[in-house]
Structure 1
Amino acid sequence: MSDYLPEEVWIRNILPTLSIKTLLRCTSVCKSWYSLITSPSFISTHLNRNKQQDPPLLLLRHCSEHPRKEHFSIRHDNPTLDDYAELDFPFHSVNWYFRIVGSCNGVTQCCFSNPWPFYASIGFGFDSINHDCKVVRVTYVEDDDGFDIVPPEVELYSLSRGCWQSISYCGLQSIIPERSPQVYINGAVHWIAYDRKTNGSIRRSLIVSFNMCDELFREIFLPDSLAAQRGINIEINVFGESLCVMHDVFLSGSNQTYDMWVMEKYGVVESWTKLFAIIDYQKVYLLGFLLLSLIVVDRIFKV
């Protein structure tokens, strides 16, 4: 029996089945294995294969004050949230905590505020055409009237190129708040943004997207009732395979409502639908209940 395996056997049938930790060890075998395992095409193949087989996991985070430290753990997505792994987080911020702004293909992005006279928002996603991971950074510089210079400086980092390049020519006209949370869906990252205020006009909220394949910004309009709100009370998310936004409406006293809107057909403004509203709950109880509701409703829809 020959001990030689055809190249296509171990490339297509063996290596993609290995765990990430094992693959990292395999990169030390030889230069050809290193080039293969770290290539965008292999990473995409491994990700798609394991995405269908691996059970869903949740990332939990909390910050301790004494000492000030970030703590991250991975739990099983079940009613008891069983432990899966405790993560080492060796990074340090100029603040005492990082902010999670989004995730893509199992990678989570954290950032922290800048002490400089500018602010930035970051988005990252996957270019499925070129099998390439990309990061886009939108930076606004302070002027005499505050952080309102448009267009901003826009830079793009490509893993395959290994460097940043300016794409400020894209002409982004909207303002994305500092460290704005993002979601990745349909090959693009999305943020809640608002129009630039001109001639006394009222700023309206909207969604700005950046497509990782054609590297272009686009705008998605919100329902009128949401567009009239400032982005601080609107959160963007993904529900199933659809974009969704959650609107936090403050009422009298400590009560409030929490509305969830879903864009049933991507890019079609008329398809925005209010899925449900939670009324007269204090926020501390509301958020936990909302997360539980999303999990339950999502699973009901999949049945």
Structure 2
Amino acid sequence: MEKLAEDLRMEILLRLPDFKSILRCKCLSKSWYSLISSPKFTDLHFQRSSSQHAHRFLYTNPPERIRSIDINASFNDHSATIELDFPLIKPYTDINIITSCRGFLLLMLVKDQLLFLWNPTTGLHKQISNPPLPWVPTISYGFCYDESVDDYLVVAFNFNDPSWLESFVIFSLRTNSWQKLTISDSYQLPKITIPFPVKSGSFLNGSIHWLISCCDPPQVEAKIIALDITTKDLREIPGPPDDDDNCMNYDLGVLGGFLTITSYYKHNSLGEVKIWRMREYGVKSSWTKLISLSGQRKISYILPLCFTKDGEILAVDSGIGLSKWSDGSGNLLEYLEFWGRPHKSWVQYTETIHSLPLTASFLST
């Protein structure tokens, strides 16, 4: 009977319309607090939230605002945008949002060189120590969750270090410490020999993926490297076919559960963007062109983030706004400008009520 009552309470909570309603139930009693905080319930809620596309887009609007947008709502629906408060610092001109995982954001206060994990839905946040690397702006990060040990991991390396393969370090939230990774270069990955910004990694299939630029004279090419978080092996993932010499840049991401490459071309004053999707992970021949965007208006930068519940592609547009595109025709459906100049402090995340592992200390607002 006790288990039946618990399962019934879980089902009731899972049917509540929003996160605030669930969080308010924590105050009813100790048993409700324990139930809502339990890994079983938070995982069930996360699975249901992910399937129902409870996704949001968060960005800073310096100096005083952090805003979050429901991506499934129309850009004309102003009620879909809420303001958030990161509890430790204002103004927000100093925040660099790096990436997200299971509702937690990895962010940095640049001036003070401080790293934090923050769940903007619940307010939980925790400072983590800096990686044991010389402080340089050429450090790239990856952030993921290892469900086999219930642990959040942060990986860092200096992509501008001639010995970049030797600079990999990994942080475990469980142990609250960094460790140096010994990378077996069994695939004989080439050295990164030219300055090329390596963005934060994308997590998929148990590996964190980065797009790096390698020089093999006389050619310069982009390569995908993947770090298996279990074996700690680094390998190369084949990229899509390069069918155009006019490609100017690439971006790597995950869209709809598939690895994607976005390539940018300069054919005319308008430009062109192609989005490639790897249908079968690790198989080069499975790369297919998902969509091509061109000829409608000037396109300098389109970074696809996720699908909406209606199957539209949500993308960061030219670094100053959001756009929604038809997955079939490639037509522009909606556009929202929220900056007057290119900006990088943004992230797409899924609303969750996850807490951090019990062995990790955290602060609560």
Whether the TM-score (by the shorter chain) exceeds 0.5 is yes
- How far does residue 74 in structure 1 lie from its aligned partner after superposition? 3.4
Partner of 2:272: 257
Greater helix content: 1
Distance of 1:94 and 1:103 partners within structure 2: 22
CA deviation profile, 1:187-220 (whole Å, cap 9, x unmatched): 322221123x46x453321112223333332211
Distance of 2:175 and 2:253 partners within structure 1: 30
Distance of 1:226 and 1:116 partners within structure 2: 39
SS in 1 for 2:219: coil
Identity among equivalent positions (%) equals: 21
Partner of 2:47: 48
SS in 1 for 2:50: helix
Cα separation, partners in 2 of 1:161 and 1:229, compared to 1, 3 Å: farther
Distance of 1:94 and 1:226 partners within structure 2: 46
One of 70, 75, 78 as aligned partner of 2:73:
78
Partner of 2:355: none
Distance of 1:270 and 1:188 partners within structure 2: 20
Opposite residue 96 of structure 1, the aligned amino acid is: T
One of 83, 90, 96 as aligned partner of 2:93:
96
CA deviation profile, 1:5-44 (whole Å, cap 9, x unmatched): 73x4576554684756358769x949x949x9376x6643
One of 219, 233, 250 as aligned partner of 1:216:
233
One of 263, 272, 283 as aligned partner of 2:287:
272
What 5-or-longer segments of structure 2 have no aligned partner?
Answer: 114-133, 303-316, 331-365
Opposite residue 173 of structure 2, the aligned amino acid is: L
Task: Please tell me whether residue 58 in structure 1 is matched to residue 56 in structure 2.
Answer: yes
Contact preservation (8 Å) 1:99, 1:112: yes
TM-score after normalising by structure 1 = 0.70
One of 174, 178, 181 as aligned partner of 1:164:
178
Opposite residue 268 of structure 1, the aligned amino acid is: V
Contact preservation (8 Å) 2:60, 2:92: no
Partner of 2:307: none
Cα RMSD of the aligned pairs, angstroms, is 4.2
One of 116, 120, 143 as aligned partner of 1:124:
143
SS in 2 for 1:44: helix
Distance of 2:99 and 2:165 partners within structure 1: 24
Query: What are the equivalent positions in structure 2 for 1:81-230 lying under 5 Å apart?
Result: 81=77, 82-83=79-80, 85-90=82-87, 96-111=93-108, 116-117=135-136, 119-140=138-159, 147-171=161-185, 173=189, 175=192, 178=197, 180-195=199-214, 197=215, 200=217, 202-225=219-242
What 5-or-longer segments of structure 1 have no aligned partner?
Answer: 299-303
Cα separation, partners in 2 of 1:131 and 1:101, compared to 1, 3 Å: same
TM-score after normalising by structure 2 = 0.60
- How far does residue 132 in structure 1 lie from its aligned partner after superposition? 2.3
Cα separation, partners in 2 of 1:25 and 1:119, compared to 1, 3 Å: farther
Partner of 2:349: none
Distance of 2:5 and 2:244 partners within structure 1: 53
Distance of 1:70 and 1:152 partners within structure 2: 39
